[in-house]
Structure 1
Amino acid sequence: MRLPKRLLLAAGVAALAGRRALQAPYDLRGKRVLITGGSRGLGLALAREFGARGARLALVARDGAELGRAAADLRGRGVEVLTFSADVTAPDLAGLVADVSAQLGGIDVLVHDAGVIQAGPFENQTEEDFRDAMELNAFAPLRLTRAALPELQRAKGRVLIIASVGGKVAVPHLAAYSMSKFAVVGLGQALRAELAPSGIRVTTVCPGLMRTGSARHAVIKGQHEKEYGWFATAANSPVIALAAAEAARRIVNALVRGDAEAPIGGPALLLRSAQALAPQLTADAMALANRLLPVPAATDASKRGSEAETPVTRENPIKQSTERDFNELGGAADAG
């Protein structure tokens, strides 16, 4: 008797789900974890979470002073950590991987967190803005994964890509950012399939807004104070922005489970689901949201968020506390 194709498909899906359920969670104790953008913001929150679970850390960022403060914070929590000052947009990252591997004894987990975000109308975003976003948010994870592949293959390790819900739904005034995050989501999906035969698991996470304090390092285009006003306010809202420590806990849980892809936070899940179920309605909602944002400016000049502060943003107590807690006040390197 021939079984219906749908029954066979259902049986196959059930078998795969059962196999996944039987797999033991990935034990992070003693694992050697390289985190880019690890000196502040979400990167630092992730470093604290990995460290609390017994991992040994290598933090990579451009600002040596920030790295020093982050390392002191982590060592005060009993975490073993090394720091490496490097630019992950460099065309050749083999030397960085070799240095980390030599000092840490290998690499088991690669965490791509370094990133840049530009907020402003499309009309004020230049092609260079798009290229900058693609270099740091998409090509850097590609190059570093390729450079670290032999280490990851030996360890049958894990790769964690920090994407964004902006890589699932294009958010108005974040065009360059969304383009780069759509790209890195696709990279994560491709790596998940192609590296599986080597025993490497790739997890891509798509968080919504998080209270990391990193808004002050964003590149602001258009009407700077107005753009930064809405962006910083949203990024520090306890209603729609997830606390950084909680976001880090959920992200690391996704890695430990071996998820292929995971939305992080209720708004991210809602937006991703809306896009999948009602793409036309979601597009219309985004167009309506765009009407509420500041109109383009006459100049394409950019400012850092910290240069576009107003009393409203500067004196926000949640923002002030988060910036202190996550080492955001000492420099202006990559916005993790």
Structure 2
Amino acid sequence: MRLPKRLLLTAGALALAGRRALKPTADLRGKHVLITGGSRGLGLALARELAGRGARLTLVARTRSDLETAAAELRAKGAEVQVVAADLTWAESAEQVREAAANFGDLDVLVHNARLIQTGPLDNMTEEDFRDVMEIHAFAPLRLVQTFLPQLRRRQGRVLLVSSVGGKVAVPHLVPYSVSKFASVGLGQGLRAELAAQGVTVTTVCPGLMRTGSARQATVKGQHEREYALFATLANLPVLTLAADEAARRIVQALVRGDAEAMIGGPALLLRSAQALAPQLTADVLALSHRFLPGPGATDQPRLGAEVETPLTENNPLKRAAEERYNEEGGATN
């Protein structure tokens, strides 16, 4: 006998609600949480949110001065924080991080947030560009999980991978970034399936654009000033973007609930839904949008966003406020 579709949908909704109600949530008080890319931007917003929930933090980033700035702020608010300066694109860095983090004991939660953004036409992207972002978005979290897995097993720990809506829908002028974020989503799904039986919960979050002040850290190719002006403007539009503090709150909530995957922000959810429901139409719209983007540049030379600021981007009040709040006024990347 075939059940009515409405009954099946109702049963499914009730089962999902029951699963959420019964699923154990994480109490972060006193837990050791490691955050990569934790010195600025979304990583700093996540550190503030986690510290507010009583976690002890190990912050990892490339630049020690940025780490110390972030740590000083968090310590002033009563947080227990240690920092590790490491380049996660190096295979040896995972063991370096493990040794340095040991001062706080076994790890309870691993948050991989470190990222590299490249924006520009595909014509100006090289194979090296694809390899660079794959290292930081896919191989670095894989190495860290493998390195910390014995501790995470002992602690029944959790892993949070910060991916992107670009890991669900490939967007023009962000092709290397999207490829690597698709890989990070796949890594999160695979790790969740493999590690669940070992007591380790893996959550993958896919935020849309957020006002983190990090546009100036992006690597820009093509027509540098035009490309950056467009990217930095879109990254700070009030309706299209989500405030970093709110994004961090939603991301940590997904971690605490133990969600398998969470879209962060209405535009991200809308784009992902459009892709799922109407993939051909979505592809056609994205192809059309590409026609309105800046064309290729004369060389493949990359520039840092901070190097190609114009009055249009420098005087954006939302952008400036985010840069100040999230420690993004320097020039080095996480």
1:37–1:114 Cα contact (<8 Å) kept: yes
Match of 2:326 in 1: 326
Distance 1:327 1:280, change over 3 A: same
Q: Tell me how far apart the structure 1 counterparts of residues 206 and 16 of structure 2 sit (CA, whole Å).
A: 24
The structural deviation recorded for 1:15 is: 5.4
1:158 to partner: Cα distance: 0.5
In 2, Cα distance between equivalents of 1:98 and 1:194: 25
Distance change in 2, residues 1:285/1:12 (3 Å): closer
CA distance in 2, matches of 1:39, 1:59: 7
The letter for the 1-side match of 2:86 is A
**Which residue is 2:226 aligned to?**
226
C-alpha distance 136-73 of structure 1, shift in aligned 2 (>3 A)? same
Query: CA–CA distance in 2 between the matches of 1:146 and 1:104?
Result: 19
Counterparts of 1:1-336 in structure 2 under 5 Å? 18-92=18-92, 93-100=94-101, 102-334=102-334
Hey, what's the Cα distance between the residues in 1 that align with 2:198 and 2:11? 26
CA distance in 2, matches of 1:65, 1:114: 17
Separation in 2, partners of 1:214, 1:29: 29
Are 1:205 and 1:262, in contact at CA under 8 Å, matched by a contact in 2? yes
| Amino acid across the alignment from 1:233 | T
User: Are 2:91 and 2:143, in contact at CA under 8 Å, matched by a contact in 1?
Assistant: yes
Report which stretch shifted further, 85-94 or 283-292: 85-94
Q: Give the counterpart letter for 1:94 in structure 2.
A: E
TM-score calculated relative to the size of structure 2:
0.95
**Cα distance between partner residues in 2 of 1:95 and 1:330:** 25
- Counterpart CA distance in 2 for 1:333 and 1:65 is 12
Q: Is the 8 A contact 1:167 1:179 kept in 2?
A: yes
Whichever residue aligns with residue 77 of structure 2, its letter is R
Q: Kindly state the Cα deviation for residue 95 of structure 1 after the two structures are TM-superposed.
A: 3.1
Pick closer, same or farther for the CA change 1:173–1:34 going to 2, 3 Å: same
Q: Which amino acid is the alignment partner of residue 191 of structure 2? A: L
Partner of 2:110, secondary structure, is: strand
Could you list the structure 1 runs, at least 4 aligned residues long, displaced by more than 4 angstroms after superposition: 6-17
Give the length in aligned residue pairs: 331
CA offset digits 1:99-151 (Å, max 9, x no partner) = 20x21111000000001010000000111111101011111111111111011
Q: What do residues 15-67 of structure 1 show as CA deviations (whole Å, max 9, x unaligned)? A: 57534421232111111100000000000000000000111100000100000
Unaligned runs of 5+ in 2: none
Query: CA offset at residue 262 of structure 1?
Result: 0.4
Partner Cα separation in structure 2 for residue 313 and residue 8 of structure 1? 51
The AA in structure 2 aligned to 1:51 is A
* Fraction of identical pairs, as percent: 65
Equivalent AA in structure 2 for residue 318 of structure 1: L
